[in-house]
Amino acid sequence: MHAVSTQQKTYSGTVLTSVSDIPDSLLSRVSAVAAILLALVTYLHGLGSLHIMGNGDEMVYAQITRATAASGHWLPLVSEMPDMVNTKPPLLFWQGILTTDWGHRWNLVSLRWPSLVWTFLAALLAGLVAWRTTRNNLTAGLLAASLYLGFLSTYRYGRPFLTNPPETFWVFFCFFAMLKWRPFSFSSRLIFPTLIGSIAGFALLTKSFAQLLPIGVALTWWHLSQCRWNWRTFFFYRAPSLAWTATLALGIFSLWFVLDPNPAAIWKEFVVGENIGKMAPSQSNYLLAMLWGRTSIWGFFMGWFLNAGFLAFPLLGTMIRAWQHRSEATQDEKLLWILTISFFLVFCIPTQRSGRYLLEVMPAIAVLMVIHWRRLLPQAFLTTLIAAGVLSTGVAWVSLTLARETSEDIFNWWHWPILIGSIALPVVAFFDRFNLDRYAVPSTLCAYLSLSSFVGIFDGPSGRFSADAIAVAANRVVWVPENFRAAAELERTLLPGARVRGYDIALRHKGPENMAAEDLVLVILPLSEAAPPGAIGSRIELISRHSREQLFELAQGRIQENLFCKQWLLTAQPVENFRP
């Protein structure tokens, strides 16, 4: 172990002296590798689930990918929603076209597995930066990778078919390369500016040209700090290289305009609508909106902790310790803080401020947490263990209640060992009070795994339509209630071969009014409701939005009627016949 200085912790949680390197013994390495393997299992479990923790944009992107693949052309992008065509650059959609073999292998796993690869590559970069920063401490590198995978934002946005996984990788790759080959990367006038410009170009082609602004601000700040704020040196020796980097990145992004047969549509829908539109004030007073309300800069700052999830208090402790020991910060640590602050400041400018804008620098946050990991108070890790234990216990309670209320065995056999392990791990940690930090990330991952295992019941027979119902729906229009744009796209995986159309979920109990006689419709009824006339098949579905009364009833143990509903596949009939 490369010790910088010595640290000890008392039972009261007092931290003595300064920080030391994370122990790099064989046991520490084995534990860290086990955490990475647990993360891999957690991320793989339920990858093709209908209820994966994610974001509604996934089905929008899936719909564009499917429609574009059906057109037989890479460009222009195609969508069944006229106002949602050029919503993102084509790189994500091309990825989906390739992994689904132009839509011939249309399933959720085919769409999502590349996201998993991008996410673990970003974790690898975080681990390599931490390994370098801690003087080749392998355990520290593995811890940084597992920390990044333990963040709630990584688990939520790092598995679905979204732009975030590849975008995070390419953006952080820019800064990884600069750190890895420092100081040559800063003094280079052609090789590294070209390399960084190419990498940034892929980041832009994944998400938006607007990403160049935070990347450019962070790189500029880095270069200024390296030349000790000598403006003459910066303008004569560093600024031309940065200008070339920006030009090359924008040039790569501009290939979209060059290759697309309708660049005017890209300008109107993507540049003006998707990007410039985010600068439009949500309130009449821009300054008031910045300082007050859900999208204020204060709410945006909380995005750091919401992204960290159960690891929020260790992150808070990291920020406090970093400030207290700022005079001891290494150059790498300073550069990583500059990176995170740059992204935060830049994304304070738009009126639409979201914690998702900070995802690209969460790998840097993981590295910074590793640097101060041994300085944190035990209470910080205790909050993580308690939160993870509470979630796992809650999942276990709901599972047991549901198992008693149903006659059939709806859970997979491995669901119960997962729950036992998820609850036992935080409990064991309480008896090992000197090493609470070892259990923080594994307990967090186990909590995610228990939740994923629970929603897995909707991927079994009770959550899917029968083969007969699928056969009836093939080549027929099926109307599906949706509470988000393109949400009906998910039903294509449940009813392959059907021509799915969406309708307002407010009509979920009766169906739309513009159905043809040969159409089918999905309606949502309470779980205890009898089969309606014309029923072809049914499946159990999870109720995603609850009223205050339903939440109170859930707390009383009334699980079935408030957590589940039934989705019925019916033939088109007069609207009044669908009323429950």
Of the candidates 452, 499, 453, the one whose C-alpha atom is nearest the C-alpha of residue 479 is 499
Asked if 208 and 165 touch (Cβ cutoff 8 Å), the reply is: no
CA atoms within 13 A on the CB side of 337: 17
463 falls in which pLDDT band (50, 70, 90)?
A: confident
Lowest mean pLDDT among 199-208, 222-231, 351-360: 351-360
Written as one string, the DSSP assignment of 153-201 is: HHHHHSSSSSSHHHHHHHHHHHHHHHHHTTTHHHH-SSHHHHHHHHHHH
pLDDT of residue 4 exceeding 70 = no
Q: At what angle do helices 138-150 and 362-371 cross, to 10 degrees?
A: 130
Of the candidates 133, 10, 16, 118, the one whose C-alpha atom is nearest the C-alpha of residue 433 is 10
Q: How far is it, in rounded angstroms, from Cα 400 to Cα 402?
A: 5
Of the candidates 367, 381, 364, 370, the one whose C-alpha atom is nearest the C-alpha of residue 314 is 381
pLDDT at 505: 76
453-456, long-range: CB within 8 Å, 24+ apart, which pairs?
453/45, 453/46, 453/395, 453/411, 453/412, 453/414, 453/415, 453/418, 453/419, 454/395, 454/398, 454/399, 454/411, 454/415, 455/46, 455/49, 455/51, 455/542, 456/45, 456/46, 456/49, 456/411, 456/412, 456/415
23 falls in which pLDDT band (50, 70, 90)?
A: confident
279 falls in which pLDDT band (50, 70, 90)?
A: low
Written as one string, the DSSP assignment of 246-303 is: HHHHHHHHHHHHHHSS-HHHHIIIIIIIIIGGGGS-SSS-HHHHHHSSTTSHHHHHTH
pLDDT at 456: 87
Phi, psi of 498 (to 5 degrees): -80, 155
Q: How far is it, in rounded angstroms, from Cα 63 to Cα 79?
A: 7
152 vs 523, more confident:
152
103 falls in which pLDDT band (50, 70, 90)?
A: very high
Across the range 259-278, mean pLDDT stands at 88
pLDDT at 524: 86
pLDDT of residue 464 exceeding 50 = yes
pLDDT digits (tens, 9 = 90+) for 511-568: 677 788 888 998 888 877 888 887 899 988 887 766 677 677 766 667 777 778 888 9
Q: At what angle do helices 108-133 and 331-346 cross, to 10 degrees?
A: 140
Across the range 322-347, mean pLDDT stands at 95
Asked if 113 and 230 touch (Cβ cutoff 8 Å), the reply is: no
Which of the 8 DSSP states describes residue 64? H
Across the range 428-449, mean pLDDT stands at 94
Q: How far is it, in rounded angstroms, from Cα 120 to Cα 35?
A: 13
pLDDT digits (tens, 9 = 90+) for 478-508: 998 887 777 888 888 889 989 998 888 777 6
pLDDT at 74: 96
Lowest mean pLDDT among 147-161, 168-182, 422-436, 522-536: 522-536
Lowest mean pLDDT among 52-66, 123-137, 359-373, 493-507: 493-507
pLDDT of residue 264 exceeding 70 = yes
pLDDT of residue 17 exceeding 60 = no
Supply 573's token pair: 């009939």
pLDDT at 557: 65
pLDDT of residue 375 exceeding 80 = yes
Question: CA geometry: angle at 361 spanning 359 and 362, to 5°?
Answer: 65
Considering the chain, what percentage of its residues have pLDDT values greater than 90?
Answer: 64
pLDDT at 287: 74
For 406-433, give the secondary structure using H, E and C.
CCCCCCCCCHHHHHHHHHHHHHHHHCCH
Of the candidates 341, 344, 333, the one whose C-alpha atom is nearest the C-alpha of residue 303 is 344
pLDDT at 510: 66
517 vs 184, more confident:
184
CA-to-CA separations, 281 to 28, 288, 347, 350, 356, in angstroms, rounded: 51, 10, 14, 8, 19
pLDDT at 550: 67
Q: How far is it, in rounded angstroms, from Cα 305 to Cα 320?
A: 14
Mean confidence (pLDDT) of the chain: 88
Name the residue type at position 284: S
Q: What's the Rg (C-alpha) of the chain?
A: 26
pLDDT at 408: 61
CB atoms within 10 A of CB 558: 14
Across the range 114-119, mean pLDDT stands at 98
Considering the chain, what percentage of its residues have pLDDT values greater than 70?
Answer: 90
451 falls in which pLDDT band (50, 70, 90)?
A: very high
Helix (H) or strand (E) holding 477: strand 477-482
pLDDT of residue 322 exceeding 70 = yes
pLDDT of residue 378 exceeding 80 = yes
Of the candidates 433, 383, 429, 439, the one whose C-alpha atom is nearest the C-alpha of residue 11 is 433
Lowest mean pLDDT among 128-137, 194-203, 279-288, 404-413: 279-288
Asked if 393 and 204 touch (Cβ cutoff 8 Å), the reply is: no
Q: How far is it, in rounded angstroms, from Cα 498 to Cα 519?
A: 10
pLDDT of residue 80 exceeding 70 = yes
Of the candidates 369, 448, 460, the one whose C-alpha atom is nearest the C-alpha of residue 410 is 460
pLDDT digits (tens, 9 = 90+) for 382-429: 999 999 999 999 999 888 887 877 656 778 889 999 999 999 999 999
* pTM: predicted TM-score of the whole model, two decimal places: 0.91
2 vs 568, more confident:
568
293 vs 68, more confident:
68
- Give the length of the chain: 580
pLDDT of residue 161 exceeding 90 = yes
pLDDT at 281: 57
pLDDT at 11: 34
575 Ramachandran zone, left/alpha/beta (phi>0; psi -120 to 50)? alpha
